[in-house]
Amino acid sequence: MNEHDKPNSVEAQARRDFLKTGALVAGATLAPGVLFYGVAHSRAPEEAASSDKRFGLLIDTTKCGDGCNDCVSACNTENGLTGETGPQDSQWIRKVDIKDLRTGYVQSLPMMCQHCENPPCVDVCPTGASMKRADGIVLVDRHTCIGCRYCMMACPYKARSFVHEPLTDQNPEVPRGKGCVESCTFCVQRVDRDEQPACVEACNTQGHNAMIFGDLKDPESALNKALKAASSIEVRADLALNTGVRYQGI
């Protein structure tokens, strides 16, 4: 709405009233001033992921406890990772401590695949295995991954791991195997059931509430409201990757 429309014209007032009425008809009134529009329903199983959505995550590092590892252990359990942190072990999410050397202020934050809009891992993949799904989730198609690890080198966030040894007893929902690169999938198997990623769920059930997951293209999502309310940054914003994961408080 520009300056010319602003004066209290009768038409504008009428339009506002109409919108209000429409809103009341569309949603059921739960309490004065609170409207219930129904829970966002999940995609039907036969429906493909759509670019009408883009999944994203906001991490408030001020709420992220130093030494807290709840998101990491939830990820390991969900995706069948060992939780070891050796050079040959897979880590889909890791806690990183950063210290301001001048002031000595230490912060702790989780770091994982940032689900970039322009992912360098997808750019460099020679087989098309590294891919971005229509809804913005960056994945590795292990059926075509040849294990060359170019994507691991291209990723500025060190988010990807390579499976060096044969695996057994995988979670049926999370196939993983030797010779393939892997990384955070936003728990795509859960997202497709309209659930939150395991890390976000763990963070919230443990009462830290440092992570908000949601649809970046839905202006009404809790994620977008939180993004609008306070300043947040991308890590390595200079690379112009437009990450799906954003941070507050760093």
Q: Which residues bind other proteins (CB under 8 A)?
A: 43, 45-49, 131, 133-135, 139, 141-143, 166-173, 175-180, 188, 192
Q: How far is the CB of 103 from other proteins (least distance, A)?
A: 45
Whole-angstrom distance, CA of residue 230 vs CA of residue 49: 29
Q: Given the complex with other proteins, which of 129 and 210 has the nearer CB atom?
A: 129
Q: How far is the CB of 152 from other proteins (least distance, A)?
A: 18
Q: How far is the CB of 131 from other proteins (least distance, A)?
A: 7
Q: How far is the CB of 178 from other proteins (least distance, A)?
A: 6
Q: Given the complex with other proteins, which of 161 and 248 has the nearer CB atom?
A: 161
Q: Given the complex with other proteins, which of 49 and 68 has the nearer CB atom?
A: 49
Paired residues of 109 in beta bridges: 96
Q: How far is the CB of 171 from other proteins (least distance, A)?
A: 7
Q: Given the complex with other proteins, which of 111 and 202 has the nearer CB atom?
A: 202
Q: Given the complex with other proteins, which of 192 and 218 has the nearer CB atom?
A: 192
